[in-house]
Amino acid sequence: MTTPFPFTAVVGQDDLRLALLLNAVSPAVGGVLVRGEKGTAKSTAVRALSALLPEVAVVPGCRFSCDPAAPDPSCPDGPHEAGPGAQRPARMVELPVGASEDRLVGALDIERALAEGVKAFEPGLLADAHRGILYVDEVNLLHDHLVDLLLDAAAMGASYVEREGVSVRHAARFLLVGTMNPEEGELRPQLLDRFGLTVEVAASREPDQRVEVVRRRLAYDDDPAGFAARWAAEEAAVRQRIVAARELLPSVRLGDGPLRQIAATCAAFEVDGMRADIVMARTATALAAWAGRTDVLAEDVRQAALLALPHRRRRNPFDAPGLDEDKLDETLEEFSGDDDPDPDPDGGGPGGGGQPPSEPDGPQGGDTEARPEAGEGGQPQASGAAEQSAVRASEPFRTKVLSVPGIGEGAAGRRSRARTEHGRTTGARRPRGALTKLHLAATVQAAAPHQRARGRSGPGLVVRRDDLRQAAREGREGNLVLFVVDASGSMAARQRMSAVKGAVLSLLLDAYQRRDKVGLVTFRGSAADVALPPTSSVDAAAVRLESLPTGGRTPLAAGLLKAHDVLRVERLRDPARRALLVVVTDGRATGGPEPVALAGRAARLFAAEGVASVVVDCESGPVRLGLAGQLAGELAGTAVTLDELRADSIAGLVREVQGNRRAA
């Protein structure tokens, strides 16, 4: 067995180590979500924790790790008699990103169940992780339905598998740890809320600390066993402290004062639901036990808030994570139960210390945006040489669904129709490989004509492997939504560009909700740039969009050709994910030789390849040239104005795209 890197040898990352230890003391805290850039010891710390956990007693031969002192009465391998058991180390089970539902929750052997009448259940990773650690690296890349199953099991402490009338339940209590790189996409807020604690990690910027990280890593790689031996005493001390804290935990008292502080803090930060209050209470109790105390103090409540609330403050992917610590301290002070009527001894009145400094920043920021607009509003844009500073996007709004015609087979999502493992049943087929979703009616229908030949004349049905039919299901897939945004001088009026950015931001929010990948190509001046390569991180796209400058000529052809290159490369990487091209422009083309003809030829490349496309027409003014509509015709797509992006008339957009393509 590989010697793990010692937990106590991890340099820095104090919040990460504390959050992991608190869950080791009290698994009821609900797990840890670790957010951070690559190479920040996320996986190393989790694997090191498993070696610190005390050994567990199990019923010999039980595949579900039942506790011999109190066996699970519904254990599929039971019933077990209470008595002495065998000791084994706590397990750390890793859930791979590409795992199937059967691998996660377990699977019934449907062939044996039908042919032999035997209820044979093969446990999954949830059973393996019972009374240990379940580690999910890149949890944000898991399919949503797997994350739902995972978090439901963590919340209920049990896993349920029900298929074709056969039901299995087994205990599944584990320490859930998920890691993710925010640049690769966010979890939905509903799923974020299901993790008890969250920690943001980043590499140290202190040279001495970075040197120590490298020194320890090199020493471990040269001699893992020897390095671990040098840290054995520290590891043993932490292990003993975990055991002592677990024993002390039932004696810790959460008084009315700390409980009021918890409730007031959650209310002050406008956290939805009551899960945050419960998690904070459990975390504060675990902190007190870890410190060797039987009373919860205000410092425990404060630390619990810093670990339990930041990820619950995010209402959409564009909200910045984090917590205002000044506001937190003011709330705790106000509800501390102190008799002093003035909660702010430094003067300024309640809330006076934190509010005034923030007020100048808001208006000042607004003035910074307003002054250039007043100065530039009368400047001519025809020369194409001037460049404007970035303008802020208008408020995002709810858009209608844009989808790709036909049926795909891409990654699960919520945009376009696709053949998936989940969704409504549309038919049956012979299984390719292992049978997962049985179509019972089709199986019976296939087996029925052969009963006399198989010697069956009375009631019952003889089913053989050739009779089995797999359910064909139709669900939804996520697409690659590639935005091609005109940032040239023809659209550089600041108010207009603000509306354009607001529209793209709205479409980005829609892409986040539908689990799409997004990319961003911009064109202005004399060239086009890939502002954001295709990614699952729509908040990264929003950041690039917000800082997008405008001005210059309109190289429309360059923008389309750059988008064509992006899609060509992406098809090689992910051929099953279909693309939706969204061109945001007024349709003008003024950059390069023969700009209009070249733009038309570039657009026809997409039409020839059958790429679904939509042109968001940003032309304004009383006289409109209709150039965006002409571009949509060349793309075999459809044009929609900014105003129509909000309207019900866009519901038929995809059908029109499909009809135009067939007519062409």
- Residue 384: pLDDT band (50, 70, 90) is very low
At residue 492, the pLDDT reads: 61
Residues 296 and 264 in one domain: yes
14, 107: one domain = yes
Query: Quick one: pLDDT at residue 154?
Result: 83
Comparing 395 with 198, the larger pLDDT belongs to 198
Residue, of 457 and 110, whose pLDDT is higher: 457
Residue that terminates a domain, selected from 475, 503, 519: 475
Kindly tell me if the per-residue pLDDT of 633 is higher than 80.
yes
For residues 482-510, average pLDDT:
80
Is 436 a member of any domain?
yes
557 & 605 share domain: yes
- b vs e for 284-305, b when ≥16 Cβ sit within 10 Å of the residue's Cβ? bbbbbbbeeeeebbbebbbbbb
| 142 closest CA partner among 188, 200, 175 | 188
Token pair, residue 304, equals 């619990």
Give the residue ranges of DSSP H helices in 434-535.
Answer: 440-447, 494-513
CATH of the domain at 294: 1.10.8.80
- Is there a single domain that holds both residue 521 and residue 609? yes
For 385-438, the pLDDT digits (tens) are 445 566 777 777 878 778 888 888 888 787 888 887 766 777 888 887 777 677
Residue 467 lies inside a defined structural domain of this protein: yes
Say if residue 76's pLDDT is above 50. yes
| Residue 275 annotated among the catalytic residues of the structure | yes
638: how many CB neighbours lie within 10 A of its CB? 23
- The answer to whether the beta carbons of residues 542 and 390 sit under 8 Å apart is no
Last residue of a domain, one of 460, 475, 490: 475
Last residue of a domain, one of 307, 334, 361: 334
pLDDT digits (tens, 9 = 90+) for 153-170: 888 888 888 765 567 888
Confidence of residue 341 (pLDDT cuts 50, 70, 90): very low
Higher pLDDT, 655 or 399: 399
pLDDT value, residue 379: 37
Beta-strand ranges (E) seen in 554-602 are: 579-585
For tokens 């699960």, name the residue. 412
- Contacts (Cβ under 8 Å, ≥6 apart) of 368: none
Q: Indicate if the pLDDT at residue 635 is higher than 90.
A: yes
- Which residues in 78-87 are b (16+ Cβ under 10 Å) and which e? eebeeeebee
The percentage of residues in the chain with a pLDDT greater than 90, rounded to a whole number, is 26
Looking at every residue in the chain, the average pLDDT score rounds to: 80
Residues 563 and 587 in one domain: yes
Specify the pTM: 0.68
Among the listed residues 491, 509, 511, the one whose alpha carbon sits nearest the alpha carbon of residue 500: 491
For the stretch 182-194, pLDDT in tens is 777 777 777 788 8
Q: Is residue 223 part of a domain?
A: no
Strand runs (DSSP E) across 62-220, as ranges?
86-88, 92-94, 107-108, 121-122, 133-137, 158-163, 166-171, 175-180, 197-201
CATH number of the domain bearing residue 505? 3.40.50.410
CA dist., res. 149 & res. 142, Å (int):
11
Is residue 621 one of the residues assigned to a domain? yes
Output the domain CATH number for residue 128: 3.40.50.300
Instruction: Give the distance from CA 239 to its chain's centroid.
Output: 33
Compute φ and ψ for 201, nearest 5 degrees: -120, 150
Q: Are 551 and 571 part of one and the same domain?
A: yes
Structural domains of the chain, count: 4
Asked if 464 and 514 sit in the same domain, the reply is no
Whether a cis peptide bond, with omega within 30° of 0, leads into 250 is no
Q: Is position 444 within any domain? A: yes
Least trusted range by pLDDT, from 39-43, 90-94, 358-362, 556-560: 358-362
Q: What is the DSSP letter of 253?
A: B
Claim to verify: residue 554 and residue 470 sit in the same structural domain? no
Residue 84 is assigned to a structural domain of this protein: no
Task: For tokens 């963590």, name the residue.
Answer: 154
pLDDT, average across residues 42-57: 86
Residue 287 token pair: 């902190």
Within-domain flag for 535 = yes
pLDDT at residue 307 tops 70: yes
pLDDT score of 174 more than 80:
yes
Q: Helices marked H in 479-555 — which ranges?
A: 494-513, 538-546
Q: Give residue 19's pLDDT.
A: 94
Q: Are 545 and 622 in a shared domain?
A: yes
Residue 350, pLDDT above cutoff 50: no
Between CA 587 and CA 593, with CA 592 as vertex, the angle to 5 degrees is 105
pLDDT score for 345: 42
Both structure tokens of 264: 């007031």
Q: What is the pLDDT of residue 202?
A: 85
Same domain, yes or no: 471 and 481: no
Contact criterion met (CB below 8 Å) for 383 and 114:
no
pLDDT (average), residues 554-582: 92
Considering the domain architecture, whether residues 262 and 295 belong to the same structural domain is answered as yes
Same domain, 460 and 401: no
In the set 210, 216, 241, 275, the catalytic residue is 275
Range of the domain at 542: 391-406+477-663
In a domain, 231, yes or no: no
Q: Could you give the CA distance from residue 193 to residue 255 in angstroms, rounded to a whole number?
A: 25
Report the C-alpha gap between 11 and 216 in whole angstroms: 9
pLDDT recorded at residue 161? 80
